[in-house]
């Protein structure tokens, strides 16, 4: 049995097991699903879903209730301390007056203000979960509402950005779940659904949960998908194990065979993963979304960012393996003989493959730009989204593979060079640079569509040659090579990315021109009809006609085809008597352009009508909305039709952000559109003024020969590139600002910074995986030099960058404030010209029209007027003013307040100030959300530029620091190596090299030292015998001196007792004579032991009680002026050792304490698992700091008559029995010695 499970058989056993599991899984689906048990399973699943929903709702309500209690506790500190309220809405009422709110929302106070309960509030566009409560504070009763958004009905930026509790539950439960907040007393009678009423803990019905019954077919399909996933995993594992089995047979083959094997294994594995649909078929997120990137290259192997990553990694692995084997081949100097002919042939082959590789990278990057919806230069974040980060990793990996492959080709050329390669390296690479440039020029010349530009080719070849020179000259380590390859790759791919992005922008001008001029009445009529059909089927609008009509109109518009077009459009509702019920218009100006509506139809009616200004037509339709065959009202939908659509310029940014009509390659704020119709000039902004000569030249050119052309024109001192074409007699131009050098650098650094971050992370991971080598590396002198250079250089640069960044941000803020203040001053001055003559609303309307400034006016804390009223009327923007602005202006009488905020993910700055109009007082809000303010350098552009400069500077500093550290550390490294050789006894070592300065003096001194050591070696040998005799004499003297001291003390004690006629004389006599006899015996043993030349007394190892030895030594010092306290343990402390050596050790320690003027000695013994620890502490003068490391050295002493052997011999003895002795502490208050003695092993 053991033979079966040998290591060599485990792979075969694993493969067999995997194949067996794969076979079993093929028959699993029909067996696992029993249709007869489906009804039971369905009931269980529905109950599980009900529990899931109920628990989730309970948790939300509980958290909201807990937060409500927290508000009540911290209410005295509001609004100053409101940081804890960021995640929830808070409203506090005093009676019926709203006195505090932390966020703006249109949540009303319920009539049942006395109750403590949760409830849902449908605002129109959002549903809030609200918790209401009351509190009495300072004899006043307050009503508190805390809330959070539960459902967001509209969708501006995609489903992933919408808050939806029901959607998140549906995903978790695996079935469709909807929540009805209104009909909480009627159950659903449709058999396809299950419903239940959710009640709060106090018994109130909050909502009705509707769960779609899972179908048997769906359950089987889900199970099949699960089994398919398992099968795919098993197939992949079978392939992996088979590759391991085959590798056993090829690992000893030649390099070509091994490389072919790895190429087939990795390539085959990649193809297998693709055929199995991994990961796209099993994971659905931004990484597997083809809309982010999908290319026809490689037969679909790069159909998503994740697929691209797998393919790029597989290709890189193959090239890395090939590089490894080729380096081995190169180092072993194998291959064909060198000759001029072989080198010339290799040169042409290398050049062809090098240029083809460069073209392949260019084509791939072009695909990355044109086949992707990711905008690398518009959607920059310092921490990018996962799919953008992966795409940046992909293009970096692609460039890395190309550079590494090119270097492998260069190694083959390097290998075949017939001359002295080390001597001619510089000449070879310089010649190669010129030859590649000439070949590249010819290569591009004969291509119809060359990839990249000559500048990119020249710069890349130069960078490649420099990188090759550094690597071939210095032969750096793998990490340095990886960094050099990666940086060269990053520069190449980012340059290509920048170039193709500019090409895409040019193409987008054509696309935008086509989109803006493709306006077809039939298309617009179709969109209007589709919208009307959508409205007739909207049960919520029909059943609650007239309620929250503005919000419902916006929702209908958001869900219609009209939302997908950047044209002015509208949806309006009318009662059956023709009176307006509400609506939504994309621009308030449409109100004055739309003709009156005649309600006289029972069917859908589509019509066209010219505007009152005659420049465009309005395509609109009206349809009756019926309920139970009765008309409850009418719905109108329409668009503004113009031959050239310039409406995008008047659309707010949060509406434009994800729109599909205008190409998202170009920022709409930087897009310029104009058209010429005879002498009529119209543009997307009144601020755009073109030179009259430019316009006249266009007219002449297109009158003579209608065509399309590119032209450059100046606007406000900036150059704009225009794509100009003629359509049905109209000359239409679409342009963008041309990028200057600073802009191009900014674009370059946007991606380059991310690449540097990726390179750093990869190096960090490799360093952690090989942490031992990393630690050794950073312990080296060279690494410390590099780190020092970098720190000294980078820290000032960081400080300067932070300062500049803060300075520019401050300037930007000041510019925004200045512009907003100018707008507010204009409005104030304008209003002062009409003191009480015109009603407020009409006056605001007139000011907006005359000044062309967007603003909002609040009366007290509520919305009163806005130049963009429909965003407030629909509820998209709350009609409540910012609390801080309101409290500062009304409560603290501040004149102007500047605040910043975020709306729909877009940051903005706002100014609030008090104004007077029409005899009333109001609060004016002006922001840069609706009023575009151009900044010299935006925050993102500033971050990109600063971080890009820092990245590039850091890389250059690392490279320069490495080169400089090499120059400095090379002689130190040689000196270190020579010192190691010298310590090993090699006295013939000598440092070669011409060094100057201190390094030269050091190497010269080292060589002289080695020479003198060699000369003194013989002299030292002659002195050894004499030294040995002297050493023995000192040791004998010291060992004899120790027993004499207690003998002297004992005799003195005996004499004193005799003279004092002590009654205990006999006992003292016996004790003293025993002590003297013992010490004399000790002297006898010492004399016999020293009879052997240079040998200390032989150890007599026995089991002894350490406490008795310490007590006997304490007895010896009874007549001394010192108090010895012994913390004697309760039991016996038995150790193995020599009793006499132990005695001498403690005598030495106690004697040293006495000589250090100690008054007290404390002795303590502690027991640990494996050893005993003896602590000897005194209160003497301690040991000086400079002597701490010398007290155990031989011959060291601070006493006039000392020999410097006591502690040395004590340590030798303690260590000879497996123990340790150390000076644990020392100060002016005394010294502490600790002795560790091993326990006797049983």
Q: Tell me the per-residue pLDDT of 1213-1235, one tens digit each, with 9 for 90 and over.
A: 888 888 998 888 888 888 899 99
Pairing of strands 906-917, 896-903: antiparallel
Q: Is 1095 a residue whose pLDDT tops 50?
A: no
Pairing of strands 1160-1167, 1123-1127: parallel
Q: Is 5 a residue whose pLDDT tops 50?
A: no
Q: Is 1010 a residue whose pLDDT tops 80?
A: no
- Report the side by side order of strands in the sheet with 920-927: 862-866, 856-859, 920-927, 906-917, 896-903
Prior bond of 145 cis (ω within 30°): no
pLDDT band of residue 160 (cuts 50, 70, 90) is low
Of 356 and 85, more confident: 356
Whole-number pLDDT of residue 1117? 62
Q: Tell me the per-residue pLDDT of 1036-1082, one tens digit each, with 9 for 90 and over.
A: 676 777 777 777 777 777 787 777 777 777 777 777 777 777 777 77
What predicted TM-score, i.e. pTM, was given to this entire model?
A: 0.69
> Of the candidates 848, 859, 842, 811, which has an alpha carbon nearest to the alpha carbon of residue 826?
848
Contacts of 630 (CB under 8 A, 6+ apart): none
CA atoms within 13 A on the CB side of 1024: 7
Contacts of 782 (CB under 8 A, 6+ apart): 965, 966, 969, 973
Compute the CA torsion angle 343, 344, 345, 348 (nearest 10 deg). 120
Contacts of 629 (CB under 8 A, 6+ apart): none
**Residue ranges in 27-174 assigned as alpha helix (H):** 28-32, 38-74, 165-173
Q: Is 649 a residue whose pLDDT tops 60?
A: no
pLDDT band of residue 1200 (cuts 50, 70, 90) is low
Residues 1145-1175 as b or e (16 or more Cβ within 10 Å = b): bbbbbbbbbbebebeebbbebeeeeebbbbb
Whole-angstrom CA distances from 466 to 183, 327, 428, 485 are: 75, 19, 12, 11
Mean pLDDT, rounded, of the chain: 81
- Neighbour-count burial of 1075, counting CB atoms closer than 10 A to its CB (0-12 exposed, 13-18 middle, 19+ buried): buried
Lowest-confidence pick of 181-190, 747-756, 846-855: 181-190
Mean pLDDT of 134-158: 86
pLDDT band of residue 1131 (cuts 50, 70, 90) is confident
Mean pLDDT of 920-928: 93
pLDDT band of residue 668 (cuts 50, 70, 90) is low
Q: Tell me the per-residue pLDDT of 162-212, one tens digit each, with 9 for 90 and over.
A: 788 888 888 888 889 999 887 766 666 666 788 888 888 877 888 899 988
| 872 close to 623: Cβ distance less than 8 angstroms | no
Q: How many CB atoms lie within 10 A of CB 656?
A: 17
Pairing of strands 97-101, 605-610: unpaired
Lowest-confidence pick of 39-48, 357-366, 579-588, 1048-1057: 1048-1057
| 958 close to 787: Cβ distance less than 8 angstroms | no
Mean pLDDT of 100-112: 81
Q: Is 31 a residue whose pLDDT tops 90?
A: no
Q: Tell me the per-residue pLDDT of 1011-1042, one tens digit each, with 9 for 90 and over.
A: 777 677 656 656 665 666 677 667 767 677 77
pLDDT band of residue 1 (cuts 50, 70, 90) is very low
- Dihedral class, residue 1195 (left if φ above 0, else alpha if ψ from -120 to 50, else beta): left
Which residues on adjacent β-strands are paired with residue 1137?
Answer: 1102
Whole-number pLDDT of residue 131? 92
In angstroms, the CA 1089 to CA 164 distance is: 94
Q: Tell me the per-residue pLDDT of 962-980, one tens digit each, with 9 for 90 and over.
A: 777 777 777 777 777 667 5
Q: Which helix (H) or strand (E) holds 677?
A: strand 671-677
In angstroms, the CA 908 to CA 900 distance is: 6
Q: Is 766 a residue whose pLDDT tops 80?
A: yes
| 359 close to 402: Cβ distance less than 8 angstroms | no
pLDDT band of residue 662 (cuts 50, 70, 90) is very low
Mean pLDDT of 423-452: 88
Whole-number pLDDT of residue 4? 47
Q: Tell me the per-residue pLDDT of 50-59, one tens digit each, with 9 for 90 and over.
A: 999 999 999 9
Whole-number pLDDT of residue 552? 94
Contacts of 915 (CB under 8 A, 6+ apart): 827, 828, 831, 857, 921, 922, 923, 924
Whole-number pLDDT of residue 982? 61
| 919 close to 836: Cβ distance less than 8 angstroms | yes
pLDDT band of residue 17 (cuts 50, 70, 90) is confident
Tokens of 169: 């539950």
| 878 close to 106: Cβ distance less than 8 angstroms | yes
Q: Is 435 a residue whose pLDDT tops 90?
A: yes
| 1158 close to 1176: Cβ distance less than 8 angstroms | no
DSSP class of 285: S
In angstroms, the CA 808 to CA 939 distance is: 9
pLDDT band of residue 125 (cuts 50, 70, 90) is very high
Lowest-confidence pick of 411-415, 794-798, 1165-1169, 1218-1222: 794-798
Of 521 and 885, more confident: 885
Contacts of 180 (CB under 8 A, 6+ apart): 207, 208, 210
In angstroms, the CA 1154 to CA 1119 distance is: 12
Whole-number pLDDT of residue 601? 66
Residues 501-536 as b or e (16 or more Cβ within 10 Å = b): bbebbeebbebbbebbbebeeeebbebbbebbebbe
| 619 close to 519: Cβ distance less than 8 angstroms | no
Q: Tell me the per-residue pLDDT of 190-203, one tens digit each, with 9 for 90 and over.
A: 667 888 888 888 77
Q: Which helix (H) or strand (E) holds 210?
A: strand 205-212
Compute the CA torsion angle 755, 756, 757, 762 (nearest 10 deg). 90
Whole-number pLDDT of residue 939? 63
Which residues on adjacent β-strands are paired with residue 1177?
Answer: 1162, 1232
| 991 close to 973: Cβ distance less than 8 angstroms | no
At 482, is the secondary structure helix, strand, or coil? Answer: helix
Structural domains of the chain sorted by starting position, each given as residue range(s) with its CATH number in brackets: 43-152+183-207 (3.30.450), 339-505+745-772 (no CATH), 807-909+932-942 (no CATH), 1027-1238 (3.30.565.10)
Proportion of the chain above pLDDT 70, given as a percent: 84
In angstroms, the CA 552 to CA 568 distance is: 18
Which residues on adjacent β-strands are paired with residue 1178?
Answer: 1161
Q: Is 612 a residue whose pLDDT tops 60?
A: no
Q: How many CB atoms lie within 10 A of CB 742?
A: 11
Distance of CA 417 to the CA centre of its chain: 47
Mean pLDDT of 129-151: 89
Whole-angstrom CA distances from 952 to 466, 784, 802 are: 17, 21, 16
Q: Is 663 a residue whose pLDDT tops 60?
A: no
In angstroms, the CA 295 to CA 304 distance is: 8
Whole-number pLDDT of residue 1000? 77
Tokens of 921: 């007082």
Q: What is the 3-state secondary structure (H, E, C) of 524-584?
A: HHHHHHHHHHHHHCCHHHHHCCCCCHHHHHHHHHHCCHHHHCCCCEEEEEECCCCCEEEEE
What number of helices (H) and strands (E) belong to the chain? 30, 30
pLDDT band of residue 661 (cuts 50, 70, 90) is very low
In angstroms, the CA 1106 to CA 1143 distance is: 10
Q: Is 660 a residue whose pLDDT tops 50?
A: no
- Tell me the backbone φ, ψ of residue 557, rounded to 5 degrees: -65, -40
| 369 close to 395: Cβ distance less than 8 angstroms | no
Q: Which helix (H) or strand (E) holds 353?
A: helix 340-370
Mean pLDDT of 686-692: 74
Pairing of strands 140-152, 89-94: antiparallel
Q: Which long-range contacts (CB under 8 A, 24 or more apart) does 611-618 make?
A: 611/640, 615/642, 616/640, 616/641, 616/642, 616/643, 617/521, 617/641, 618/593, 618/594
Whole-number pLDDT of residue 897? 94
Whole-angstrom CA distances from 423 to 417, 428, 992 are: 12, 10, 21
Whole-number pLDDT of residue 883? 92
**CA-derived radius of gyration, the chain:** 45
| 645 close to 684: Cβ distance less than 8 angstroms | no
In angstroms, the CA 436 to CA 1176 distance is: 80
Of 544 and 779, more confident: 544
């Amino acid at each position: 049995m053991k033979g079966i499970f040998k290591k060599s058989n485990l792979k075969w056993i694993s493969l067999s097991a995997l194949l067996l599991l794969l076979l079993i899984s093929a028959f699993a689906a029909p067996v696992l699903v029993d249709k007869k048990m489906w009804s039971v399973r369905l009931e269980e699943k529905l109950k599980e879903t009900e529990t899931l929903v109920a628990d989730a709702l309970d948790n939300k309500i509980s958290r909201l209730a807990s937060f409500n209690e927290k508000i009540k506790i911290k209410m005295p500190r509001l609004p100053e301390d409101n940081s804890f309220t960021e995640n929830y809405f808070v409203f506090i009422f005093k009676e019926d007056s709203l006195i505090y709110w932390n966020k703006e929302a249109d949540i009303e106070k319920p009539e049942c203000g006395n109750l403590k309960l949760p409830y849902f509030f449908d605002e129109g566009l959002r549903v809030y979960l609200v918790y209401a409560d009351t509190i009495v504070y300072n004899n006043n009763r307050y009503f508190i509402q805390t809330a959070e958004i539960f459902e967001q009905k509209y969708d501006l930026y995609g489903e992933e950005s919408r808050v939806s509790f029901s959607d998140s539950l549906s995903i978790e439960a695996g079935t469709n779940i909807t929540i009805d907040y209104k009909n909480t007393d009627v159950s659903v009678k449709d058999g396809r659904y299950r419903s239940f009423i959710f009640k709060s803990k106090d018994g109130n019905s909050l909502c009705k949960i509707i769960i779609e019954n899972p179908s048997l077919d769906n359950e089987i399909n889900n199970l099949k998908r699960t089994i398919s996933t398992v099968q795919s995993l098993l197939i992949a594992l079978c392939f992996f194990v088979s590759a391991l089995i085959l590798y056993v047979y090829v690992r000893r083959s030649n390099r070509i065979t091994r490389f072919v094997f790895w190429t087939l294994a990795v390539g085959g594995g990649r193809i297998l993963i693709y055929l199995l649909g991994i990961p796209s078929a099993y994971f659905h997120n931004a990484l597997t979304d083809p809309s982010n990137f999908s290319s026809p290259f490689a037969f679909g192997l790069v159909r998503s960012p994740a697929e691209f990553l797998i393919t790029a990694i597989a290709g890189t692995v193959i090239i890395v393996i090939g590089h490894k084997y080729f380096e081995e081949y190169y180092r072993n100097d194998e291959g064909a003989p060198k000759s001029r002919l072989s080198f010339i042939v290799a040169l042409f082959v290398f050049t062809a493959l090098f240029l083809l590789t460069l073209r392949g990278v260019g084509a791939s990057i072009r695909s990355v730009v044109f086949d992707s919806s990711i905008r690398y230069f518009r959607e920059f974040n310092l921490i990018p989204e996962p799919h953008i980060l992966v795409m940046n990793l992909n293009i970096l990996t692609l460039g890395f593979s190309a550079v590494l492959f090119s270097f492998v080709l260069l190694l083959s050329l390097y290998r075949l060079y017939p001359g002295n390669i080390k001597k001619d390296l510089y000449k070879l690479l310089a010649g190669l640079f010129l030859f590649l440039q000439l070949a590249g020029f010819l290569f591009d010349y004969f291509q119809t569509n060359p990839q990249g530009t000559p500048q990119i080719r020249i710069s890349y070849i130069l960078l490649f040659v420099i990188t090759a020179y550094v690597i071939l000259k210095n032969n750096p380590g793998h990490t340095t090579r990886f960094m050099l390859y990666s940086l060269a790759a990053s520069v190449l791919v980012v340059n290509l990315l920048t170039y193709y992005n500019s090409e895409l922008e040019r193409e987008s001008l054509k696309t935008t021109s086509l989109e803006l001029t493709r306006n077809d009445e039939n298309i617009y009529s179709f969109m209007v009809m589709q919208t009307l059909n959508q409205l007739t089927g909207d049960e919520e609008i029909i059943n609650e006609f007239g309620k929250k009509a503005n919000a419902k109109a916006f929702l209908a518009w958001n869900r219609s085809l009209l939302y997908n077009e950047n044209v002015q459009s509208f949806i309006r509702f009318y009662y059956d008597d023709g009176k307006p019920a509400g609506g939504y218009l994309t621009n308030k100006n449409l109100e004055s352009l739309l003709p009156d509506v005649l309600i006289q139809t029972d069917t859908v009616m589509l019509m066209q009508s010219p505007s009152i200004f005659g420049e465009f037509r309005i395509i609109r339709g009206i349809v009756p909305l019926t309920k139970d065959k009765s008309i409850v009202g009418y719905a109108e939908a329409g668009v503004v039709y113009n031959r050239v659509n310039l409406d995008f310029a008047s659309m707010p940014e949060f509406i434009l952000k994800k729109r599909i009509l205008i190409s998202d390659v170009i920022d709409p704020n930087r897009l310029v559109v104009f058209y010429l119709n005879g002498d009529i000039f119209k543009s997307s902004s009144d601020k755009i003024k073109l030179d009259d000569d430019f316009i006249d030249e266009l007219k002449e050119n297109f009158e003579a020969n209608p065509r399309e052309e590119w032209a450059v024109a100046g606007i406000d001192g900036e150059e704009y590139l225009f794509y100009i074409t003629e359509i049905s007699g109209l000359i239409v131009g679409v342009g963008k600002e041309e990028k200057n050098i600073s802009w191009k650098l900014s674009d370059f650094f946007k991606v380059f910074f991310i690449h540097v971050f990726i390179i750093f992370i990869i190096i960090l991971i490799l360093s952690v995986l090989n942490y031992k080598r990393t630690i050794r590396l950073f312990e080296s002198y060279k690494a410390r030099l590099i780190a020092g250079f970098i720190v000294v250089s980078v820290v000032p640069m960081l400080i300067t960058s932070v300062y500049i960044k803060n300075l520019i941000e401050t300037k930007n803020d000041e510019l925004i404030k200045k512009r907003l203040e100018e707008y507010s001053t204009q409005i104030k001055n304008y209003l002062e010209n009409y003191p009480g003559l015109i009603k407020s609303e009409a006056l605001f309307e007139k000011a907006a029209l005359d000044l062309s400034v967007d603003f909002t006016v609040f009366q007290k804390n509520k919305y009163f007027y806005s130049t963009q009223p429909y965003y407030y009327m629909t509820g998209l923007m709350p009609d409540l003013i910012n609390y801080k602005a309101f409290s500062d202006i009304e409560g603290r009488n501040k004149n102007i307040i500047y605040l910043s905020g975020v709306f729909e993910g877009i940051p903005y700055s706002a100014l609030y100030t008090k104004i007077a109009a029409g005899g009333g007082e109001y609060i004016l809000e002006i922001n840069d959300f609706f009023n575009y303010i151009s900044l010299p350098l935006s925050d993102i552009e500033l971050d990109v530029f600063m971080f890009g400069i820092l990245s590039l500077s850091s890389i250059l500093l690392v490279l320069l620091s490495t080169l400089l550290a090499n120059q400095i550390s090379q002689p130190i490294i040689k000196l270190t190596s020579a010192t190691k050789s010298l310590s090993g006894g090699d006295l013939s070592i000598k440092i070669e090299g011409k060094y100057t300065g201190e390094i030269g003096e050091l190497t010269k001194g080292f060589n002289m030292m080695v020479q003198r050591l060699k000369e003194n070696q013989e002299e030292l040998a002659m002195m050894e015998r004499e030294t040995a005799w002297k050493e023995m004499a000192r040791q004998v003297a010291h060992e004899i001196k120790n027993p004499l001291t207690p003998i002297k003390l004992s005799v003195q004690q005996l004499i004193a007792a005799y003279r004092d006629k002590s009654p205990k004389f006999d006992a003292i006599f016996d004790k003293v004579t025993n002590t003297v006899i013992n010490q004399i015996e000790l002297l006898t043993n010492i004399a016999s032991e020293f009879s052997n030349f240079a040998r200390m007394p032989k150890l007599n190892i026995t089991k002894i009680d350490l406490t008795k030895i310490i007590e006997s030594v304490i007895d010896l010092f009874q007549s001394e002026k010192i108090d010895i306290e012994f913390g004697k343990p309760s039991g016996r402390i038995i150790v193995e050792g020599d009793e006499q050596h132990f005695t001498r050790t403690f005598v030495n320690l106690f004697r040293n304490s006495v000589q250090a003027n100690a008054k007290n000695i404390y002795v303590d013994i502690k027991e640990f698992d494996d050893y005993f620890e003896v602590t000897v502490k005194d209160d003497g003068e301690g040991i000086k700091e400079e002597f701490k490391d010398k007290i155990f050295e031989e011959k060291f002493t601070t006493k006039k008559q000392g020999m410097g052997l006591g502690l040395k011999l004590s340590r030798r003895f303690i260590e000879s029995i497996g123990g340790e002795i150390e000076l644990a502490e020392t100060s002016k208050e005394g010294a502490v010695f600790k002795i560790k003695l091993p326990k006797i092993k049983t």
